[in-house]
Amino acid sequence: MESPWPSFRFHGPSGERPTTIATSVLISRNYWVDPKSGIPYPVEVRVPQTDLAIDGTLRHLPVMPIGASHPLISDVATVSPGRTMGEIDHLNNQRSLNVTANISGDDYGRAADDIERAIASLGAPPRGVTVENRGQLAQMLNTLAGLRSGLMLAVAVVLLVLAANFESVRDALAVISTVPAVLAGVVLMLLVTDSTLNVESFMGAIMAVGVGVANAVLLITFARHQRRAGEGPFGAVVEAAQRRLRPILMTTLAMIAGMLPMASGFGAGGAQTAPLGRAVIGGLLASLFATLLVLPAVFVLLTPDRPMHSNSLDPDDPESVFAESRR
């Protein structure tokens, strides 16, 4: 059977064997023109690596393909075995060696930890050599670091706003005390569902913190109202938990029901957005128990058992200690 591919036969000057360095794919191409179609095809001559023995073929390769004299590599250079980089890249005009790996079945977080341990095990790099993580891994680490900073900043801002609104640092701290429970619920739900801590789950954690703080503000506000009516800390917070049980349950359960389809992970792209729904559900379940069980105890511990008065400096405020009626 005749082969569909054209056959090639190259001859050097005077019919000698062709040299392996007479052509280059990049700067000096050798073309073969198909006589039937007239289409030129670039041809590169290569010698198999198995035939490049140092003590044989490699030493006798000619350096110059044209000329009266044909010096060999062994005449102008010393050839010895060694190791070198198979490919040299450049980054910002500097030579770089890229090391890549397939992390199929693993997440970027664990892969980043493995890479850091592998780099640390090699010791200090030579002088003038730097090691840098680039690509999607570096971008993901920067994004997660920004989300962590944003979450802590949001909690701090909420604390300051509540302290100014309640005119009491104690009540603001009582509300913020539910945040660790929300974060613990998020982490526990991610562990149970075998989900990773990624950008989506971080967004779900921020959403859960927002809803949990809103429920805590609802309860503390009513407890403060009962305190102004003359109730003690324990009686006020118990009354607030009883009166605000239904709104807190309705808000939490409605949010959980809305996140169930997303948390299931079904549909196109569902696996990518599922951590967000799971984080919200775990955080809200923990927030529900923390708001109804832990928050009242924290409120009683932080609130002194004495008549409540306003900390306002406005003398026209009848509840302020600086009011004209109280002097």
The HSE-up count of residue 152 (CA atoms within 13 Å, CB side) is 5
112 confidence band (pLDDT: 50, 70, 90):
confident
Name which of 259, 250, 326, 321 is nearest 288 in CA terms. Answer: 250
Question: What is the reported pLDDT for 1?
Answer: 38
State mean pLDDT over 91-116. 78
Tokens of 231: 């109730």
Q: How far apart are CA 291 and CA 102, in angstroms?
A: 45
Question: What is the reported pLDDT for 320?
Answer: 60
- Asked if 209 and 151 touch (Cβ cutoff 8 Å), the reply is yes
Q: How far apart are CA 279 and CA 188, in angstroms?
A: 9
Question: What is the reported pLDDT for 285?
Answer: 93
283 confidence band (pLDDT: 50, 70, 90):
very high
Q: For the chain, what percent of residues have pLDDT higher than 90?
A: 13
55 confidence band (pLDDT: 50, 70, 90):
low
**pLDDT tens, position by position, 129-163:** 888 877 777 777 788 888 888 888 888 888 898 88
Given a cut of 80, is residue 165 above it in pLDDT?
yes
Q: Which domains does the chain have, with CATH numbers?
A: 149-326 (1.20.1640.10)
If one compares 312 and 82, the residue with the highest pLDDT of the two is 82
Q: Quick check: helix, strand or coil at residue 90?
A: strand
